[in-house]
Amino acid sequence: IRLAIEVSAKTPTKAQQEAARRSTQVINYLKTQQLEKLQTTGINLNPTYNYPSNGNPQLTGYTATNSISFRVTTDRAGAILDAAVKNGATRIDGVSFVASEQAISTAQIQALKQATQDAQRQADAVLETLNLQRKEVIGIKIDSASNPNPIPLAQEAMKARADANATSTPVVGGEQQVEAAVTLDIGY
């Protein structure tokens, strides 16, 4: 989950101090939630301008933004997001779904097994057509057992889901696919 605390004020000092105060409050809450990989991902301070019709921009203040990311299980994500907003977060910048390292490792092993079995079936089909018998595996090449990429959930979709259920933000994960390719050199 990526979220931010964004504050506007007339001076850069006031904007940054208020962002720091609110960020501390949000981080203190998040630290109590047994999250993984809690970290600051950005600290920004920018001037804010008004662009009147005469074309001369006028400085109107400053916006300070402190960004935070962390990992949490999908079943806890909605409640954590809601509480983070109550504690001072003003933006939810996105959610990405990533399977646990153990689940990915298990899926990679399964993908390699299936790819190997598929390679054997294909070789057997070709050898059978040629009236040949498979003897021994001479070589094995493992091309990949690719990790799945995180699946982002767009901010607009999250907002629509939050608007539809004001009690708690629903967060629903999806499936990730792990793929592997195995090449067998088989003697016959």
Q: Write the pLDDT tens digit of every residue in 93-107.
A: 988 888 878 888 898
**Which amino acid is located at 184 in the chain?**
L
Of 3-12, 70-79, 95-104, the one with minimum mean pLDDT is 95-104
Region for 37 from its dihedrals, namely left if φ exceeds 0, alpha if ψ lies in -120 to 50, beta otherwise: left
Q: Supply the pLDDT for residue 158.
A: 46
Contacts of 128 (CB under 8 A, 6+ apart): none
> Rounded distance, CA 101 to CA 30, Å?
22
Euclidean distance between CA atoms 173 and 18, whole angstroms = 34
Is residue 11 within 8 Å of residue 20, measured between CB atoms?
no
**Over the stretch 41-70, which tens digit does the pLDDT of each residue have?**
999 999 999 998 888 899 999 999 999 999
In the predicted structure, residue 24 carries a pLDDT above the cut 80: yes
What's the pLDDT tens digit per position in 110-141?
989 999 999 999 999 999 999 998 888 888 88
User: Among residues 4, 37, 32, which one has the least CA distance to residue 19?
Assistant: 4
> Residue 185, Cα to own-chain centre: how many angstroms?
38
Alpha helix positions (H), the chain: 12-31, 74-86, 101-129, 155-164
Give me the half-sphere count of Cα atoms (radius 13 Å) on the Cβ side of residue 3.
Answer: 26
Longest dimension (CA), the chain: 86
Give me 104's structure tokens. Answer: 């990915």
Confidence of residue 181 (pLDDT cuts 50, 70, 90): confident
Measured CA to CA, the distance from residue 126 to residue 134 in angstroms comes to 10
Structure confidence at residue 144 (pLDDT): 63
The three state secondary structure string of 144-173 is EEECCCCEEECHHHHHHHHHHCCCCCCCCC
pLDDT at 148: 57
Residues 147-171, mean pLDDT to the nearest whole number: 54
